[in-house]
Amino acid sequence: MVAKLKTYWYYWIKSSELTLVSLVATRLSSILFITGKFARFFLYIIFLLVLKDKIQLVAGYSIDQLITFFLIFNLFDLLGQFLYRGIYWFRSEIISGNFDYRLLKPISPLFQIMTKHTDFLDLPLLVLVITFLVKRFPQVSPIELLHFGILSLASLIILTSLHIVIASIGVMTTEVDHTMWIFRDLSEMAKVPIDIYVEFIRTFLTYIVPIAVIFTFPAKSLYGLIPSPTIFIALAISLTVYFLSFKFWHFSLTKYSSASS
Amino acid sequence: MKKYWQITKTSWSNGFVYRLNFIMWRVRTIIWFFTIYYFWVAILSQNDQVFNYDSQTLLTYVIGTSFLRSLVLSSRSVSAGMEIANGDLNNYLVKPINYLKNWLARDIADKALNLAFFIPEMVIIFLVIKPPFIFPNNPWYFVAFIVAALIATLMYFFFSFLVSCFTFWYPEHNGWPLRFIVFMIIGFLAGDTFPLDIFPAVAQTIFKILPFGYFMFYPMQIYLGRIPANQVGLTIIIMLAWVFILYKISTAVFKKGLKVYGAYGR
């Protein structure tokens, strides 16, 4: 088991190192991409600050709280992209049949495709978001910190699971990009607490595509707004989704047609 | 003219070949709409008036910008950058075809396709969520809005083509890095999520100077009757001036770009 973990760790380090080298080689592009990410982040913050001057509450939340929700959204959104950017290149492997080579290697093909492009371009903003969060919450109670920790774990598990589901859909239908972008657009709905949406959308974002568990629950836990049982239910949901996503992945592999190979 | 009409027709048919892609794109636009619409509904549920906008006016603005996004900001000319980067531009240079007009013809088909889907989608959304929506008091405002929307479409087309032209000098990643920045800021500067007049006076002066506000914000201000009748004409003249400026710059940059074009990838 330890030897296997070592192999995976070495594979991830090596592929990340190669990605970093390629990003450094195309410096201007990397700078432009980072600039775009920062621009998007700060423009939204500016918008919220402009609202703060005129508006007290949005769906029962202050604008300061909305900024926290936005920061937490960015935290997990950027983590997902940092770790699993490789999924964006998966379609080309499927339609070219190059995915065959992944299947032949003695390493999980899923691990290979998801981690093949660690996106270091998300790192500067990720560091900034974490710094902002630490500054905003200098004194969180230990119990709230524990709740946040557990919900962050659940969040990362669901994030991983949804990427697995998207990869599986890709294997079965050769469609990855749009599915991924729909997931990203649904995630954008959680820039603000999902409480602002109507019942139907809230239910959809909590139980069907658990965007709320990924982004809204951890933010709420920092304000003590998530009761303890809900935290463990969220963890249970995340483990169930993780288990089901693997089942779906293995099922999808039985449908792989190896087109163009 | 006939050949460009043929390109429009082919491009329209092409949209139906990749049905799944197109349907998923439309799903995305509906998600965007709900994200923005319900955000403002939440704000307006606890505030009768926000930044001199009442509930009806602001939600009409959101619905209107959703229409303008389908018309103005949907553009296939994004792919022009890719053609320049991978050398496919050669295919056009050896043909009796104007590259800019070719993309305009393809854009018209794409916009028509988007609108063909937008209208039934909106009908369903209106039946289900029954949003408050106001029509202009004066029908001339509606006519002026349509004219402004069409001019904005041309403005964005030339602007987008200009962005693609920078690929001549920087073909890396098919010109995507610069396009990425444009995508990140264009919605904000065009006023697609919120009206630009919620910002302080200094920012509004900057928005007035830049062309981006004319993509969505000013056409919607015309629709809502928030621009005095005697200034509507002036706004449209400014927009026409922008069309001219962007046309001149984009064609000049394209010509200059052709001189450095190395047909990489060919």
- Give the residue from chain A lying closest to B39, CA to CA: A196
Q: Which residues of chain A neighbour B19 with C-beta distances below 8 Å?
A: none
- Which residue shows structure tokens 């299947």? A103
For A104-129, how does the pLDDT look when each residue is reduced to its tens digit (9 = 90+)? 989 999 999 999 899 999 999 999 99
CA distance B21 to chain A (A): 7
Give the range of the structural domain holding residue B55, as residue numbers without chain letter.
2-260
Is A118 within 8 Å of A19 (Cβ atoms)? yes
For B51-102, how does the pLDDT look when each residue is reduced to its tens digit (9 = 90+)? 889 999 999 999 999 999 989 988 888 888 989 988 889 888 888 889 999 9
Residue B232 domain-assigned (yes or no): yes
Contact A197 B34 (CB under 8 A): yes
Three-class DSSP category at B155: helix
Is A157 within 8 Å of A239 (Cβ atoms)? yes
pLDDT score, position A48: 92
Residue B266 domain-assigned (yes or no): no
ipTM for the complex?
Answer: 0.87
Contact A59 B46 (CB under 8 A): yes
For A190-220, how does the pLDDT look when each residue is reduced to its tens digit (9 = 90+)? 999 999 998 999 999 998 999 999 999 999 9
pLDDT score, position A214: 94
Q: Which ranges of A26-89 does DSSP label H, i.e. alpha helix?
A: 27-54, 63-84
Task: Give pairs for A55-58: CB < 8 Å, separation 24+.
Answer: A55/B43, A55/B46, A55/B47, A55/B50, A56/B46, A56/B47, A57/B46, A58/A192, A58/A196, A58/B39, A58/B42, A58/B43, A58/B46
CA distance B127 to chain A (A): 16
| Residue A86, burial from CB neighbour count under 10 angstroms (0-12, 13-18, 19+) | buried
Contact A55 B43 (CB under 8 A): yes
The dihedral of CA A41, A44, A50, A51: what is its sign?
A: negative
Report CA dihedral (B227, B232, B235, B236) to the nearest 10 degrees.
Answer: 140
CA angle B128, B134, B138 (to 5 degrees): 150
Q: Which residues of chain A neighbour B43 with C-beta distances below 8 Å?
A: 51, 55, 58
Q: Which residues of chain B neighbour A211 with C-beta distances below 8 Å?
A: none
Is A23 within 8 Å of B177 (Cβ atoms)? no
Q: Which residues of chain B neighbour A201 with C-beta distances below 8 Å?
A: 34, 38
> Which of B24, B39, B194 is facing A182, going by the closest CB pair?
B24
| pLDDT at B46 > cutoff 90 | no
| pLDDT at A73 > cutoff 90 | yes
Q: Which ranges of B224-261 does DSSP label H, i.e. alpha helix?
A: 229-260
CA distance A143 to chain B (A): 30
CA distance A58 to chain B (A): 5
A185 alpha carbon, distance to own chain's centre:
12
Contact B50 A55 (CB under 8 A): yes
Q: Which residues of chain A neighbour B178 with C-beta distances below 8 Å?
A: 32
Binned at pLDDT 50, 70 and 90, residue B265 comes out as low
Binned at pLDDT 50, 70 and 90, residue A1 comes out as confident
Is A110 within 8 Å of A192 (Cβ atoms)? no
Is A174 within 8 Å of A98 (Cβ atoms)? no
Contact A26 B21 (CB under 8 A): no
Cα A109 to Cα A170: distance, rounded to the nearest angstrom: 13
pLDDT score, position B23: 84
Binned at pLDDT 50, 70 and 90, residue A256 comes out as confident
- Give the residue from chain B lying closest to A45, CA to CA: B188
What is the overall mean pLDDT for chain B? 90
Residue B9 domain-assigned (yes or no): yes
- Which residue shows structure tokens 């994200």? B35
Residue B155 domain-assigned (yes or no): yes
Identify the bridge partners of residue B53 per DSSP, sorted by sequence position: B50
Residue range A56-63: mean pLDDT, rounded: 87
CA distance between the termini of chain B: 30
Q: Of A58-67, A69-78, A178-187, give the range with the top mean pLDDT.
A: A69-78
Residue at A70: amino acid letter: F
Contact B181 A179 (CB under 8 A): no
| pLDDT at B25 > cutoff 70 | yes
For B189-219, how does the pLDDT look when each residue is reduced to its tens digit (9 = 90+)? 999 888 999 888 999 999 999 999 999 999 9
pLDDT score, position B266: 62
Q: What percent of chain B has pLDDT over 70?
A: 99
For A125-146, how does the pLDDT look when each residue is reduced to its tens digit (9 = 90+)? 999 999 999 998 767 888 889 9
Residue at A214: amino acid letter: I
Cα A15 to Cα A118: distance, rounded to the nearest angstrom: 8
| pLDDT at B161 > cutoff 70 | yes
> How many structural domains does chain B have?
1
Q: Does B178 touch chain A (CB under 8 A)?
A: yes
Three-class DSSP category at A117: coil
- Which residue shows structure tokens 């914000």? B217
Helical pair B2-17 and B99-129, crossing angle rounded to 10 deg: 50
> Which of B27, B173, B193 is facing A182, going by the closest CB pair?
B27
pLDDT score, position A261: 59
Residue B200 domain-assigned (yes or no): yes
Q: What percent of chain B has pLDDT over 90?
A: 57
Give the residue numbers in A contacting B (CB under 8 Å), as ranges. 26, 28-29, 32-33, 35-37, 39-40, 43-44, 47, 50-51, 54-59, 175, 178-179, 181-182, 185-186, 188-189, 191-192, 196-198, 201
pLDDT score, position B156: 95
This prediction has a pTM of 0.90
Residues 6+ apart with CB under 8 A from B198: A50, A51, A54, B50, B51
pLDDT score, position A260: 65
The first and second tokens of residue A50, run together, are 């402009």
Contact B31 A185 (CB under 8 A): yes
Contact B42 A181 (CB under 8 A): no
pLDDT score, position A70: 96
Tell me which residues of chain B, numbers 9 to 68, contact chain A at a CB-CB cutoff of 8 Å.
20-21, 24-25, 27-28, 31-32, 34-35, 38-39, 41-43, 45-47, 50-51
Closest to B140 in 3D by CA, of B61, B225, B68: B225
Residue range B26-32: mean pLDDT, rounded: 90
pLDDT score, position A96: 85
| pLDDT at B159 > cutoff 90 | yes
